[in-house]
Chains A and B, each alone.
Chain A
């Protein structure tokens, strides 16, 4: 690029948009940065003295490792269910005509716009022992007695999948839309059967969307609170609930802060690992 065209491309000094970042940055510093530092301070104190006690407690008690493992397991199952359910939807949407595509998008977005609490309560009604789902299963004679769908990990997975599915679909869509349809035509003209073209060309080319959607759902899943709290049982406590118990019931703010930081560390770790596979700037 020549010097002249470079100069044309850059905004004049007065219009450089850097200063536009100042308000949101200030907001983040005041309402996120400072509280985070406070939490960090709290986590490093036991009864007013500086100590690593909170962290050693977390890592020495197998109960917390178990909760951590369960949290990661649940997030993984939810991620996989979102992928399995979301991929066909995103695929259909990319190939649908404008009108149908708008309808699918609205269907995907409506739950997105509905309050999380409302949706979770709705699932409680649907999934309870004498709820609609069990009624249907019984009437269709698929089961002889009500299935336990709520207050266990099944309920948690169903609820979380429903909440997180739109994120997966939107990620998949944005990467699928960038796939040149000519490549599929080329694959067919070269002798590839529809399934071969799908598995050898389409899926690899949508890998970016699969990776970014999975990462997003997984990371959001690790920190989930309301859905597991309302739809899960005693055995299905996730890490966010653990924090809530420490804060709300046991008033152990220091330990709660330590758990929160472990959760943050785990999240960052996953981001770092995934960063080598995908480009984070393409997340949306």
Chain B
């Protein structure tokens, strides 16, 4: 059902600015890839090159091995959900959805059947005669999705799909859209700057920075083993502690932290060298306040600098002895009471630490 998408060495310049540089992507049939990055990272340009609205200066776009680099958008057979849905305001819901079928000159009966089927799928049966402006944001998005899927394309592109929705609806639609595309088995590429959305929806996340792909992996690997400080900070919150590797063997490295103690961190040896300066990553929710220092893992003592109550969780800023601030996040329990200035010992299990390269790229 879904098609394989390959981008090979894509370069794109606007005037003097290199917006996409040497991007390679290989998306397996049926995968859900999210391209994540801050604004200006080039992610939308990649999507436009895929859709055929922009032409790459260099490189190739392959769908199931067929080169479509020079094909115009209307010959690509790719469904696209636009940021503001781009519903045709003068056409009804049914006419909007039927558009890709009518331009393909399909028969009346066939068009009716497919339109009805897809409307049912996006739960909008009964809305056929409405105009787009008479629908809510969520309903408009469903219509746009139905329109992008009704002609059975092997590929679906989503451009910041949730940005026009409020937070509640956004979470709901993330799950719903994910479910629909999974059922159909269509290969999907989504572009977003919302890291939570990326982690929720995607089976593969590709982080872009300054026009290049910084890391491409499944959501868990990206979150737990980010390849650069940029990725670590962009996805979730990160405590990065500077240190030097003084011992490396097998899949473990011993790092002397500038903050004092040494820790053992699991890592992939081929990426790191003896005496290399690195960051040790500890995610805020992996850090705990402990009574007794544990035998293994990282242990630091410090003072509570700030306490922020965010409902289901408490966030603590702990200033450790070296002067750095460590962010903690823990579920709020009735028994927990912290006050500013209070001395605490914090610890992270060895398995919850990760090494991060100091430079962005090896």
Contact = CB atoms under 8 A, between A and B. Distances in A.
Interface stretch (A5-13, A15-23, A49-57, A184-192): A184-192
Q: What does DSSP make chain A's interface, helix, strand, loop or mixed?
A: helix
A192 B82 contact: no
Given A189-B51, A190-B103, A191-B103, A182 B86 contact: yes
A200 B51 contact: no
Interface string B89-105: 11000000001101110
Interface in B145-162: 147-148, 151
Nearest to A185: B53
Interface string A165-190: 00000000000000010110111111
Contacts of B83: 182
B86 A196 contact: no
Contacts, number: 68
Most buried by B among A185, A191, A204: A191
Contacts of B74: 188-194, 197
A201 interface: yes
Interface in A189-229: 189-194, 196-197, 200-201, 204-205, 207
A186 B86 contact: yes
A183 B87 CA distance: 7
Contacts of A190: 74, 79-80, 99-100, 103, 147-148, 151
B88 interface: yes
A192 B76 CA distance: 11
B185 interface: no
A200 to B, nearest CB: 7
A278 B195 CA distance: 46
A193 B73 CA distance: 9
Chain A's interface size range is 20 to 34
Nearest to B53: A185
A217 B360 CA distance: 64
Given A185-B82, A200-B99, A191 B77 contact: yes
Given A191-B74, A200-B99, A186 B82 contact: yes
Nearest to B144: A186
A205 B90 contact: yes
Contacts of B80: 186, 189-190
A175 to B, nearest CB: 12
Nearest to B150: A190
Contacts of A192: 74, 99-100, 103
A108 B88 CA distance: 31
B84 interface: yes
A197 B99 CA distance: 10
Most buried by A among B52, B76, B100, B151: B100
B83 to A, nearest CB: 8
Most buried by B among A183, A193, A197: A183
A192 B98 CA distance: 12
A59 B90 CA distance: 43
A184 to B, nearest CB: 9
A180 B100 contact: no
B302 to A, nearest CB: 47
A207 B90 CA distance: 10
Contacts of B88: 183, 186-187, 201, 205
Nearest to A180: B86
B72 interface: yes
B86 A183 contact: yes
A187 B82 contact: no
Contact of B103 (A185, A193, A207): A193
A191 B103 CA distance: 7
Nearest to A182: B86
Nearest to B102: A200
A189 B76 CA distance: 8
B207 interface: no
Contacts of A191: 74, 77, 100, 103-104, 151
B99 A188 contact: no
Contacts of A188: 52-53, 72-74
Contact of A187 (B78, B89, B99, B104): B99
A240 to B, nearest CB: 38
A101 to B, nearest CB: 19
A192 B147 CA distance: 13
A196 B88 CA distance: 14
A194 B88 CA distance: 16
Contact of A196 (B52, B77, B84, B103): B103
Interface of B: 51-53, 72-74, 76-80, 82-84, 86, 88-90, 99-100, 102-104, 147-148, 151
17 contacts: A182-B84, A183-B86, A183-B88, A183-B89, A187-B99, A188-B72, A188-B74, A189-B51, A189-B73, A189-B78, A190-B80, A190-B99, A191-B74, A191-B77, A192-B103, A193-B74, A194-B74
**Shortest 6 CB-CB contacts between residues of A and residues of B:** A186-B86, A190-B100, A188-B73, A182-B86, A189-B80, A192-B103
